[in-house]
Amino acid sequence: MARSEKEAMYEMTISLNPYLTFRDNAREAMSFYRSVFGGELAIKTYAELRGDDPAKADKVVHAVLTTPDGHTLMGADAPDPAKYEPRAGFSISLSGDDEERLRAYWERLSDGGTIVMPLERAPWGDVFGKCVDRFGTSWLVNVEGA
């Protein structure tokens, strides 16, 4: 039996990746995330890809962090920093059953940031916490209960 185009489309690999925008500190932020999660960080500047505006030459036009776990986090400097709006209304969630690794991520992400909810046992039985890192990104960390 032949597959339909629709069936074939759903077999393709698709990724959902956070893409963060920063006000002139994307290189620092993405390097920080590499220090938290490890992996490979590729950074391209405006000069490398566009070269059309000397004022933006060293700014990050696109950065990709690929972690050893296969996660991808992307980011860039805002094209027009005057129109940059800080992130609001969303968080990036880290969850799983490896408590040691998740606690290590929590410690590094919350260092220099703001702890909104401490990483501790939650009413639903998991260990849960929320923080905003030093670059304004909100993180939820959930360690699945036994």
- Which tens digit of pLDDT belongs to each residue from 51-97? 777 888 899 999 999 999 999 999 999 988 778 888 888 999 999 99
104 in the same domain as 76: no
145 in the same domain as 93: yes
Per DSSP, 77 falls in state: E
**Residue 85 CB burial class (10 angstroms; 0-12, 13-18, ≥19):** exposed
pLDDT of residue 130: 98
pTM: 0.86
Q: Which of 84, 116, 131 is the last residue of a domain?
A: 84
Quick: pLDDT tens for 9-39. Answer: 566 688 889 999 999 999 999 999 999 999 9
Q: Compute the distance between CA of residue 126 and CA of residue 143 in angstroms, rounded to an integer.
A: 6
Q: What is the 3-state composition of the chain as percent helix, strand, coil, each rounded to the nearest 5?
A: 25, 35, 40
100 in the same domain as 77: no
Q: Note whether 128 and 137 are within 8 A (CB).
A: no
Q: Compute the distance between CA of residue 123 and CA of residue 116 in angstroms, rounded to an integer.
A: 17
Residue type, 105: Y
69 in the same domain as 2: yes
Q: Which of 84, 107, 131 is the last residue of a domain?
A: 84
Q: Which domain holds residue 26?
A: 1-84
The CATH number assigned to the domain holding 37 equals 3.30.720.100
